[in-house]
Amino acid sequence: MSAAIELISVVVTIMGLGVASQVLADRLRVPSVVFLILAGVLVGPEGLGIITPSVFGETLQAIVGLSVAIIVFEGAFHLRIERLRGAQRETLLLVTLGAFVSLVGTAVVVRYALGAPWDVAFLIGSLLIATGPTVITPIMNVVPVRERVASTLETEGVVNDVTAAILAIVTFEYILLGSQGPLALVGEFALRFGLGIAVGGAIAAGLWYVLRHGTQAVENAPQNARLMVLVSSLAMYGVAEVLGARFGASEAGIAAVATGGFVLGNTDIPYRDTVEQFKGDVSLLVIAFVFITLASLLSLEDLLSLGPGGIVAVVVIAAVVRPLGVLLSTGGGRLTNPERLFISALGPRGIIPASVATLFALELQGTNQTAATTLVGTVFLVIFATVVIEGGLARHIAQALDVIPMRAIIIGGGRVGRELAERLEGRGEEVVLIERDEQVCEELRGRGFTVHKGDGTRQEVLERAGVGNARIVAASTQDDDVNLLIGQLAKNTYGIETVVARVNEPSNLDAFEDLDVEAISTSMSVAWSMDNVIERPGISKWMTELDRDGDVQEVEVTSEDHAGKTVATLGEELPEGCHLALISRDETNRLPEADDTIELGDHLTFIGRRSAVREAIDYCTS
């Protein structure tokens, strides 16, 4: 077989396996990296022998470098400033103190569990700082934790990917290739970072100007924008690498694409939606190509050579080093203790450690085969173990720690949806908005809301927003047909407990009621409010004041500790400033009497100061 035909067959095989792995991962709801690694081993020398190290020759390093550039750019492009603000303190400490703990802790484990020299141990520690977004993001799509938890994990992944790549490269040169002195290490690290930031920022700024002010044919404008963004990401990497080689700062390209992606992702560029979709598709193909290719180079002998020490190293890195770094970095912040434990249990490594470790191993094979074997074996063993175990058990861990909140999903980000979201969030609900308009989405994100862009009548959009774990679905668009379809999906397909819909045309009320959807007529609501002001001004004013300073909440009695109590007894146990206003039982409502007995399944309505009502609800549900 000629070299050209062999290369074509290899590329087609890799792409086919990559797509198959992605489809299978989506169906089983696990990270695709698991299947990509298995596919690579299957077609590698240890399996069918379709892919061998000689297929790509000396071009492998360049191919992997460009591929990693696209992956990092795409991850940084989705890293929004709003997300950084949402987890600012925790993220800052995770990417500094947490990264340092991971570096030193991993190096110590590798040194004593595997008997590796300190230089190799620190090289492995540098690589395993990374918790890549390519494996974190799919897990977050399956496990709908609070936004602050997802933001912390995904932001840590993007930042640490870049940090790990550059730190590992500098450490490799300093320790194994003869650089001199610790100051040289710091200097080289700063030079690479600085050069990458300058190049990435400059090219991103130029591209932004062209996209915003350049003249483009209307029919081809979205396509041109996609291609310009893709080529610019490669240009950032290439220019930074060329300049880095000239100034003795090679591998500055990773910092360049991370900077450029972050800058463009946080600016107002046209056709953002189509650019994001295109970049995501390209990244999936690139990830598949790189992971399968690198996994095919993995030798089973490399893993077996680690012996029992390899298992010990993986367990300690995942179960001791990772939790230690996370718990030290997140104490005293907004994260709850269960959320901190969840983040501690989720540190899967991904594409950056795999690709960079393989490149180092290829370079070390001629001079230090033992170091190459230890490096590749340890890194891939940690990747495989953390992705399979942590990725596969992530949802179970989240459920055990009770960090998956019941959500309120609001479809429609207009004035009604926005006002409802503010009210629900003010009462401690985990609110997710779904909105089709990109500009409205950006405005809502700027106000601190969690927003998913998409059509709320599509099941994949609802599922991505976490409808499977929703307690409330509210359809607040201006289109009654859309609201009706959303109500039907929520009730019949997902069995949501509370479904409420805005009805703009009163004649449509019967259609909503037939679906058992709570229908709120816009015109009737306004009329009721005006009537209250006219006929019941005192109550109207009181309700307005209550809306500002107080709250009215309903809770179901699910604990036997409270069943059997009289209203008088429960009243004595309620916090000051809170009163029991209504008892609902068997679809009937009654005002509470002192000698009434509370029963399991009763719905109790509390009224009073907002904090006191919240305490009463917590008390009755504990």
Please report, rounded to a whole number, the percentage of residues in the chain having pLDDT higher than 70: 85
Task: Give the confidence band of 104 by pLDDT, cuts at 50, 70, 90.
Answer: very high
Least confident segment among 15-19, 302-306, 436-440: 302-306
Question: What's the CA gap between 255 and 587, in Å, rounded?
Answer: 61
Q: Exposed (0-12), middle (13-18) or buried (19+): which is 563, by Cβ within 10 Å?
A: middle
Whether residue 554 contacts residue 584, with contact meaning beta carbons closer than 8 Å, is answered with yes
For the chain, the first-to-last Cα distance in angstroms comes to 71
Least confident segment among 11-15, 116-120, 354-358: 354-358
pLDDT value for 88 = 65
Q: Which residue has the higher pLDDT, 7 or 84?
A: 7
Task: Give the confidence band of 108 by pLDDT, cuts at 50, 70, 90.
Answer: very high
Output the pTM of the full model. Answer: 0.70
Question: What's the CA gap between 616 and 614, in Å, rounded?
Answer: 5
Question: Taking 60 as the threshold, does the pLDDT of residue 216 lie above it?
Answer: no
Question: Helix 272-296 crosses helix 3-28 at what angle (to 10 degrees)?
Answer: 110
**Cross-strand partners of 608:** 551, 578
Question: If you average pLDDT over residues 314-327, what whole number do you get?
Answer: 93
Task: Give the confidence band of 434 by pLDDT, cuts at 50, 70, 90.
Answer: very high
pLDDT value for 219 = 65
Whether residue 403 contacts residue 142, with contact meaning beta carbons closer than 8 Å, is answered with no
Whether residue 61 contacts residue 358, with contact meaning beta carbons closer than 8 Å, is answered with no
Which of 394, 454, 461, 404 minimizes the C-alpha distance to 136? 394
Return the ∠ at Cα 228 (arms to 222 and 233), rounded to 5°.
130
Which of 95, 63, 67 minimizes the C-alpha distance to 79? 95
Return the ∠ at Cα 291 (arms to 290 and 292), rounded to 5°.
95
- Which domains, from first to last, does the chain contain? 52-268+296-401 (1.20.1530), 407-529 (3.40.50.720), 549-621 (3.30.70.1450)
Whether residue 449 contacts residue 421, with contact meaning beta carbons closer than 8 Å, is answered with yes
Alpha helices by DSSP H, listed for 266-336, are 272-296, 300-304, 308-316, 322-330
pLDDT value for 120 = 87
Which of 148, 89, 101 minimizes the C-alpha distance to 128? 101
Integer Rg of the chain from CA: 28
Tally of helices (H runs) and strands (E runs) in the chain: 29, 10
Whether residue 18 contacts residue 10, with contact meaning beta carbons closer than 8 Å, is answered with no
Question: If you average pLDDT over residues 108-120, what whole number do you get?
Answer: 90
> What tokens does 326 get?
């996370």
Question: What's the CA gap between 376 and 104, in Å, rounded?
Answer: 19
Spatial neighbors of 442 by CB under 8 A, at least 6 apart, are: 268
Question: Taking 90 as the threshold, does the pLDDT of residue 533 lie above it?
Answer: no
Question: What's the CA gap between 490 and 473, in Å, rounded?
Answer: 7
Q: Are strands 498-503 and 450-453 parallel, antiparallel or unpaired?
A: unpaired
pLDDT tens across 188-197, in order?
A: 777 777 888 8
Task: Give the confidence band of 543 by pLDDT, cuts at 50, 70, 90.
Answer: low
Task: Give the confidence band of 323 by pLDDT, cuts at 50, 70, 90.
Answer: very high
Neighbours of 192 (CB within 10 A): 27
Spatial neighbors of 621 by CB under 8 A, at least 6 apart, are: 555, 558, 559
> What tokens does 465 get?
């927003």
Max mean pLDDT among 163-172, 296-305, 378-387 falls in 378-387
Sequence letter at residue 480: D
Q: Which residue has the higher pLDDT, 116 or 617?
A: 116
pLDDT value for 34 = 72
Question: If you average pLDDT over residues 338-362, what whole number do you get?
Answer: 83
pLDDT tens across 244-284, in order?
A: 877 766 667 878 888 888 888 888 787 777 777 666 677 77
> What tokens does 265 get?
């992702």
Task: Give the confidence band of 581 by pLDDT, cuts at 50, 70, 90.
Answer: confident
